[in-house]
Amino acid sequence: MTAAEEKANDLKISFKDLSDSAREDIDAIEKAERELLSTEEKLQSAEAEKVHYEGVMHNKVLHDIKEAEAECEKLQEKRQENFRKASIICPECEMEALGGFAASTPEQLSAQLSRLKQRLQHESQRYTESIDDLRALYDKKERKILTKRQTYAALREKLNACQKALDLRWCKFQRNATLLKRQLTWQFNGHLRKKGISGHIKVDYEQKVLSVEVKMPQDASGTTVRDIRGLSGGERSFSTLCFALALHEMTEAPFRAMDEFDVFMDAVSRKMSLETLVDFAVTQGSQWIFITPHDISMVKPGERVRKQQIAAPRG
Q: Per-residue pLDDT averaged across 105-124, rounded?
A: 80
**CA–CA separation, 77 vs 72, rounded Å?**
9
The answer to whether position 280 is within a domain reads: yes
What pLDDT, on a 0 to 100 scale, did the predictor assign at position 227? 54
Categorize the per-residue pLDDT at 102 as very low, low, confident or very high, splitting at 50, 70 and 90. Answer: low
This prediction's pTM: 0.42
Amino acid at residue number 245: L
The answer to whether position 276 is within a domain reads: yes
The answer to whether position 97 is within a domain reads: no
User: How many Å separate Cα 26 from the centre of its chain?
Assistant: 85
Question: In total, how many domains does the chain have?
Answer: 1
Alpha helices in the chain (DSSP H): 2-56, 62-89, 92-97, 106-126, 131-192, 233-250, 267-284
What pLDDT, on a 0 to 100 scale, did the predictor assign at position 220? 44
Bridge partners of 211?
202
The answer to whether position 257 is within a domain reads: yes
Categorize the per-residue pLDDT at 153 as very low, low, confident or very high, splitting at 50, 70 and 90. Answer: very high
The answer to whether position 6 is within a domain reads: no
Full residue range of the structural domain in which residue 300 is found: 252-308
Pick 90 or 119 by higher pLDDT: 119
Q: What is the pLDDT of residues 52-69, one digit of tens each?
A: 888 878 777 777 888 888
* CA neighbours closer than 13 Å in the CB half-sphere of residue 127: 10
Pick 171 or 124 by higher pLDDT: 171
The answer to whether position 277 is within a domain reads: yes
